[in-house]
Chain A
């Protein structure tokens, strides 16, 4: 709870900057509208104004700046507009008993969440198994690690359509599986890197100690390397779940999906409804916050139980 105050302070600052930015962002459409309504605007004509700096426009048309805060299709919606739209597509839908309607963000968030969790599960598994292989096999260390790094330099947006096409070719129905794969593609990397580090974290002395007991390889893995890597794992899981969410949303963008937060963002862009884009973004941010917090709580409980002092 002691974190609440700084978090709220930063949030207030962001909302403040956002609110201030609305004026210059929306001044051009605002002036177009009032000009069409017959008011006097300096300078006259939309085309002429295109060459004039937005701050000069604001200075010359001070009385019309406020119009930018109440546009139907703003370039940058105000926090209030986004808040209203967000409520309309979440809380209000729930109140009407239509939480699972196609127009409800809760439905779309649920679609995205499912793929995110599958991708997270898949990516984490691949990351952990890969790390074990890398730590125990020199060949894997030499061959897999460079490819894992290269894999992350390929833009996921370029890769996503290919994954969709391939999974269609092999007869996988629906978008769930390819989305999870795209999500796992982003998620496995931090887990892999951290787990390699964690499994290698025991000191020479700790390994020598097990040697003096003539412990087997399995014993030293289960009793030393694995528990020693747990703090590293949790740090990676927090990055991994956020990456999995980003992966899922990206997976929904260029693939013609019609449900999920990514699809909402794409549709909002195509139909010129910035409010829909923004409320989907806010929804994604809240979802990410919930997921990371959940893992943070698991981390605290586990590490405290294990006797690690944090």
Chain B
């Protein structure tokens, strides 16, 4: 492989990426020599135990964290330039909706900051509310919605300005199993319709296998990639695909990867 071939289709590229935090107890190697290519339209999950650097890696892509060595490019430019060009939407673990803004007002927040005119804002809000199945909730305040609905609203907020990349940091981690299944299904549907490139941090094996085209298994101390699995599952995935032998086999491989990385404790 050479660089010219990759850049055509490559959205995110990390080369020998390392990040070391200096703490009072000495340096902590959050990420060490990470190499990864994410292609356009990929759904990439990052899975691993806490401390493996999966969130830190996602935050490096978003320019919320500065790597101490190596290089990361997003859409062919530096992470900082990509952030300033508003190349991605970011979904945090907690919905973090502003309590003083309605659902519509929350979704409008990035659009106001980006200086979109009012009519275009209204149209965009309506579009993304449809996309996350929250029609009719535009004028409700966040406290009037359930946790799952709030998280959907925060996904809508990340989608509203039509960035091609969606970065999601354990977005469903705080929700119960049933709501989570439901949102996973909706997320796949949304991904198929919008053709976005998605980076998704999780610590649930079934969630990672169900959603992803590519599963990145990570392990801690130092944070590194131990396995990258290209999923053979079809793009169309009903929930009961999770009982198929292929699914179970991939889940096994993920579990083995996690266990291998955990050998030292």
Q: Footprint of B on A, CB under 8 Å?
A: 203, 205-206, 208-215, 219, 223-224, 227-228, 230, 306-309
Within the assembled complex, what's the spacing in Å between the Cα atoms of A208 and B55?
A: 13
Q: Which of A212, A215, A230 has the most CB of B within 10 A?
A: A212
- CB–CB A214/B96 < 8 A: no
Query: Chain B nearest CB: distance from A209 CB in Å?
Result: 6
- CB–CB B96/A203 < 8 A: yes
- CB–CB A307/B99 < 8 A: yes
Q: Footprint of A on B, CB under 8 Å?
A: 62-64, 83-84, 86, 88-90, 92-94, 96, 98-102, 109-110, 112-114, 141-143
A215-B113, A228-B100, A307-B102 given; 4 more Cβ-contact pairs under 8 Å: A205-B94, A212-B62, A223-B112, A308-B100
The interface residues of chain A lying within 8 Å CB-to-CB of B84 are 214
- A213's partner among B113, B141, B143 (CB-CB below 8 A) is B113
- CB–CB B96/A212 < 8 A: no
Q: Which of A209, A211, A214 has the most CB of B within 10 A?
A: A209
Query: Chain B nearest CB: distance from A110 CB in Å?
Result: 37
- CB–CB A212/B100 < 8 A: no
Query: Chain A nearest CB: distance from B80 CB in Å?
Result: 9
Known: A205-B94, A213-B114. A308 touches B83 (CB 8 A): no
Known: A306-B100, A307-B101. A210 touches B62 (CB 8 A): no
- CB–CB A211/B113 < 8 A: no
- CB–CB B83/A205 < 8 A: no
The interface residues of chain B lying within 8 Å CB-to-CB of A307 are 99-102, 141-143
- CB–CB B100/A206 < 8 A: no
Residue of B nearest to A220 (CB): B113
Would you mind naming 21 contact pairs between A and B with Cβ atoms under 8 Å apart?
Answer: A205-B92, A205-B93, A205-B96, A206-B96, A206-B98, A208-B64, A209-B96, A212-B83, A212-B86, A212-B88, A213-B110, A213-B114, A214-B83, A219-B113, A223-B112, A223-B113, A228-B98, A307-B100, A307-B142, A307-B143, A309-B99
The interface residues of chain B lying within 8 Å CB-to-CB of A210 are 113
Query: Chain B nearest CB: distance from A133 CB in Å?
Result: 24
- CB–CB B86/A213 < 8 A: yes
- B98's partner among A208, A211, A219, A224 (CB-CB below 8 A) is A224
Residue of B nearest to A305 (CB): B100
- B83's partner among A206, A211, A228 (CB-CB below 8 A) is A211
The interface residues of chain A lying within 8 Å CB-to-CB of B113 are 210, 213, 215, 219, 223
Query: Chain A nearest CB: distance from B120 CB in Å?
Result: 16
Residue of B nearest to A216 (CB): B113
- CB–CB A209/B101 < 8 A: no
The interface residues of chain B lying within 8 Å CB-to-CB of A203 are 96
The interface residues of chain A lying within 8 Å CB-to-CB of B110 are 213
Within the assembled complex, what's the spacing in Å between the Cα atoms of A25 and B94?
A: 63
- CB–CB A209/B92 < 8 A: yes
Query: Chain B nearest CB: distance from A153 CB in Å?
Result: 34
Within the assembled complex, what's the spacing in Å between the Cα atoms of A275 and B102?
A: 55
Residue of B nearest to A206 (CB): B96
The interface residues of chain B lying within 8 Å CB-to-CB of A205 are 92-94, 96
Query: Chain A nearest CB: distance from B21 CB in Å?
Result: 15
Residue of A nearest to B169 (CB): A205
Within the assembled complex, what's the spacing in Å between the Cα atoms of A230 and B89?
A: 28
Within the assembled complex, what's the spacing in Å between the Cα atoms of A209 and B110?
A: 9
- What are the nearest 4 A-B pairs in CB distance? A307-B141, A306-B100, A212-B90, A215-B113
The interface residues of chain A lying within 8 Å CB-to-CB of B96 are 203, 205-206, 209
Residue of A nearest to B111 (CB): A213
Query: Chain A nearest CB: distance from B213 CB in Å?
Result: 24
Within the assembled complex, what's the spacing in Å between the Cα atoms of A22 and B101?
A: 56
Residue of A nearest to B163 (CB): A212
Within the assembled complex, what's the spacing in Å between the Cα atoms of A238 and B88?
A: 43
Within the assembled complex, what's the spacing in Å between the Cα atoms of A212 and B168?
A: 12
Query: Chain B nearest CB: distance from A291 CB in Å?
Result: 26
Query: Chain A nearest CB: distance from B263 CB in Å?
Result: 33
Within the assembled complex, what's the spacing in Å between the Cα atoms of A224 and B100?
A: 10
- CB–CB A309/B90 < 8 A: no
- CB–CB B88/A227 < 8 A: no
Residue of A nearest to B161 (CB): A213
The interface residues of chain A lying within 8 Å CB-to-CB of B62 are 212
- CB–CB A211/B64 < 8 A: yes
Query: Chain B nearest CB: distance from A204 CB in Å?
Result: 10
- CB–CB B99/A209 < 8 A: no
Query: Chain B nearest CB: distance from A202 CB in Å?
Result: 9
Within the assembled complex, what's the spacing in Å between the Cα atoms of A212 and B110?
A: 9
Within the assembled complex, what's the spacing in Å between the Cα atoms of A208 and B94?
A: 12
Within the assembled complex, what's the spacing in Å between the Cα atoms of A145 and B94?
A: 33
Within the assembled complex, what's the spacing in Å between the Cα atoms of A308 and B113?
A: 23
Q: Which of A205, A213, A219, A223 has the most CB of B within 10 A?
A: A213
Within the assembled complex, what's the spacing in Å between the Cα atoms of A223 and B141?
A: 16
Query: Chain A nearest CB: distance from B103 CB in Å?
Result: 10
- CB–CB B100/A208 < 8 A: no
The interface residues of chain A lying within 8 Å CB-to-CB of B90 are 208-209, 212
Known: A210-B113, A211-B64, A219-B113. A227 touches B98 (CB 8 A): yes
Residue of B nearest to A309 (CB): B143
Residue of A nearest to B100 (CB): A306
The interface residues of chain B lying within 8 Å CB-to-CB of A306 are 99-100
- CB–CB B100/A227 < 8 A: yes
